[in-house]
Structure formats: C-alpha cells, structure tokens
C-alpha cells in the first residue's frame, strides 16, 4: 500500500483452474461449435449442457461451474466490428413489421424503410405485404420524397430482389428489380447472407420507426392516410440533432442531396406484369385470386399489372378492368357492371350475393359464397 497513491486493486496472475470441469471442456466447446449451424431455438443452454455432461460423461461438478464457463465462452466468440464512416449520396433499404389498424381492422403492416446514413434522413411507407411491387413502390415514393436518387443502395438478400446468389458471390436479380435499377441507374450493393449488421443504419431505422411511429398502434381509415402521416413524421425528424453531430438531420441532408442523382423524366412503373386467360365465368386469375372482366372478353388472352393497391387488366392496347388489389387467397373480386349483358339476357342468372355489393364503390367480392364489402371501403 506504501508503493501506490491509489490502491491498484486485485489482478489475477494465474489462469482459473476448474479441477472438476477441465476434463470436460472439450465436449462443451464441440457442442457449442455444432450449434452455430443449427436453428437458434434448438441450441444448447447451460442447463442442457450440464445435464448431458452429468448423464453421458459422469460429470460430478455443479451447474454454476458449467454456466460460468458457457458465459465466458460466449464472450470470447462474440463478433467485433469496425466503426464506419458514410459518404454522402448513398442509401440503405429494408422492410420491417408492425401492427396497425386500417379501417377498423387490426392487421400486420410491412413498412418499407430507406435510410441515408450520412445525414440520417429517412423515409418510411407501409404496405399490406412485402412483395416485389411494394419494394419498388417504396423506392419510387422515397425518391419523390427526397427529390433525388441515391448513387447506390445497400440491401439484404431478400427473395423479392435476389433470385439467386451465384458461386462467385454475384447476385442474379429478379426481373422487376433489374428493370427498376436500370431505370434509375442505381448501383446495388448487398450484405452478407444472414448478416443484418452489414446495413446497420437501416436496421436501426426499422427499430426506431417501430418504437416511435408505431406506438401506440396507428389507427387510420386507409393505407394512404397512414402513409401520408408517416411521411410527415419523417419530415419532422429532420429537425432533430443526433448524438455526435452539431447540425440537424435536415442540414446534413442538404449535403447528402448534393451528391445524389437527378430524378428521371418519369417514375418507374412499380407493378408486377403477368398474362392470363379469361374463363367461362369472365374471370381471370392473378396471385390465387380471380378478378372479373367484361363478358365480351370471355376466353381471350389478357395481360395483368399488379400494383400494391390495384390490379389492372387489359387486352391488346386497351385497359378493360380495374380492381382494388385483394391480399386474401383464393378470393373472387367482381364488378357487377361486367355481367350486365348476361343479366339482360337472363335476369335469373344474377350471381348469388350481388345485393351485398359495396354501396360506395360498386365493387363486390364473394368468398365462400358470402358477399362482403370491397377492400378500399
């Protein structure tokens, strides 16, 4: 104590000895190594390791000794990271999930999130499903929100974007996503499979949006009303000054936008394109659901464009039908006007449940023989 003005504290000079455990650490290390390739919910706990050592290998020590070793092993194997500095003009994109109430119905919302890591500016937009059309529509609205296009966007390996990871690490893009990238001249970058921390900025944004924009649960009449509110929240956030910065998000966003590209003359048409044939009931199938067309187009080949909010059906160069997009499965969406020529010929052929049509839009659906209101209403 005479040698130090402040007591130096105790420092261990020899490694910890575990006389009862040292002969069994090889088993523990092997089991934990094998767990890395297994489902997270089916990996060994300290309690399960203790039980296996006791029952299979005659271990005589206590549970606490095993638990302490497993904790220390976990600390040694934790991944380390390098702090990143982000240059202006680049973005990261991802999807998150949260519960919302739309039109009085509580349901899961899949929200698109685009983050600009240099300025921390963000854009969030919600959809009924995280499909390819929603990915592209989210980008189109984000670019319109900022008024510019990022030089590059970092993604994970979502199946809506990446059809296949090739042996050399290159990505084979889906058709819709490839057309979108070509339209905006964006350089696409990807994180390692299963490594969400490679795009930590947008991962943090997903959590921030869920905690701050989705609590309490948002309640809106329509998806459009919810998305207008989310866009306004993103604008308000630009006034914030984050830890480690002296300028607000909005001031740093100005420098971010200067490094981005101009918007093209027209936005990309964010839709899934398909083809089909009208059946004898004047219906055409798209994504497991049937949509009606005028009976004059029965048995003809048609093209379909699936947007996040509507399905457009055409024949040749003409649009012959528009319907609200149905996100159920094996449902039928009708417009009674399409069947007027048949009803004039035989009034008794009115489809069962036609009286259940929506009084506001004229649309009506039939699922399992029971009519109900259309999606927008």
pLDDT score of 360 more than 60: no
pLDDT score of 199 more than 50: yes
Q: What is the mean pLDDT of residues 170-191?
A: 94
- Which architecture does CATH list for 90-258? 2-Layer Sandwich (3.30)
> Model confidence over 292-336: pLDDT tens digits?
999 999 999 999 999 999 999 999 999 999 999 999 999 999 899
Q: What is the mean pLDDT of residues 247-251?
A: 95
Q: Output the pLDDT for position 40.
A: 82
> Model confidence over 5-24: pLDDT tens digits?
887 788 778 877 777 888 88
- Lowest-pLDDT range of 77-81, 233-237, 282-286: 77-81
pLDDT score of 353 more than 80: no
Put the strands of the sheet holding 370-372 in their side by side order: 283-286, 289-292, 332-334, 364-367, 370-372
pLDDT score of 81 more than 60: yes
Q: What is the mean pLDDT of residues 60-83?
A: 83
- Lowest-pLDDT range of 121-125, 266-270, 365-369: 365-369
- Greatest CA separation found in the chain? 111
CA 95 and chain centroid, separation: 2
Give whichever of 30-44, 71-85, 263-277 has the largest mean pLDDT: 263-277
- For the chain, the structural domain boundaries read 22-76, 90-258, 272-372
pLDDT score of 186 more than 90: yes
H or E stretch covering 311: strand 310-315
Global pTM? Answer: 0.76
Mean pLDDT of the chain: 88
Q: What is the mean pLDDT of residues 92-114?
A: 96
Assign 357 a pLDDT band (cuts: 50, 70, 90). very low
Dist. CA 374–CA 105, nearest whole Å: 14
Q: What is the mean pLDDT of residues 50-55?
A: 92
Dist. CA 353–CA 371, nearest whole Å: 5
Q: Output the pLDDT for position 303.
A: 96
Helix (H, G, I), strand (E, B) or coil at 210: helix
- Do you find a cis peptide bond into 100, omega within 30 degrees of 0? no
Q: How many CB atoms lie within 10 A of CB 136?
A: 27
Of 370, 367, 342, 345, nearest to 355 by C-alpha is 370
Assign 351 a pLDDT band (cuts: 50, 70, 90). low
Q: What is the mean pLDDT of residues 150-175?
A: 92
Question: Would the CA dihedral through 346, 349, 351, 355 be positive or negative?
Answer: positive
pLDDT score of 228 more than 70: yes
């Amino acid at each position: 104590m005479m040698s130090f003005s402040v007591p130096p504290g105790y420092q261990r000079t020899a490694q910890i000895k575990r006389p009862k455990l040292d002969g069994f650490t090889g088993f523990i290390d092997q089991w934990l190594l094998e767990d890395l390739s297994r489902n997270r919910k089916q990996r060994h706990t300290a309690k399960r390791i203790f039980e296996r050592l006791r029952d299979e290998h005659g271990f005589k020590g206590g549970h606490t000794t095993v638990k302490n070793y497993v904790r220390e092993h976990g600390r040694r194997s934790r991944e380390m990271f390098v702090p990143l500095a982000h240059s202006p003009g680049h973005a990261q994109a991802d999807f998150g999930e949260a519960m919302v109430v739309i039109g009085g119905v509580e349901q899961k919302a899949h929200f698109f999130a685009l983050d600009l890591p240099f300025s921390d500016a963000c854009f969030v937009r919600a959809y009924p499903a995280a499909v390819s059309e929603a990915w592209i529509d989210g980008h189109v609205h984000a670019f319109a929100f900022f008024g510019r296009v990022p030089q590059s966007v970092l993604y994970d390996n979502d199946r809506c974007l990446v059809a296949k990871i090739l042996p050399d690490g290159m990505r084979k893009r889906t058709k819709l996503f490839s057309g979108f990238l070509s339209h905006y001249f964006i350089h696409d970058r990807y994180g390692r499979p299963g490594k969400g921390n490679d795009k930590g900025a947008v991962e943090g944004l997903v959590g921030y949006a869920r905690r701050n924009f989705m609590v309490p649960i948002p309640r809106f009449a329509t998806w459009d009303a919810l998305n207008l509110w989310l866009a306004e929240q993103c604008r308000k956030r630009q006034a914030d000054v984050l830890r480690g910065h002296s300028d607000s998000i909005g001031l740093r966003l100005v420098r971010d936008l200067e490094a981005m590209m101009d918007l093209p003359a027209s936005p990309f048409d964010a839709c899934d394109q398909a083809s089909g044939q009208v059946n004898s009931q004047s219906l055409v199938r798209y994504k497991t659901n049937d949509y009606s067309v005028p009976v004059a187009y029965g048995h003809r080949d048609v093209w379909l464009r699936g947007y996040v909010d509507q399905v457009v059906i055409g024949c040749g160069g003409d649009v012959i039908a528009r319907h609200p997009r149905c996100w159920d499965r094996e449902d039928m969406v009708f417009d009674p006007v399409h069947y007027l020529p048949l009803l004039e010929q035989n009034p008794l052929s009115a489809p069962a449940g036609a009286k259940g049509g929506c009084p506001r839009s004229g649309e009506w659906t039939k699922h399992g023989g029971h009519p109900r209101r259309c999606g927008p209403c």
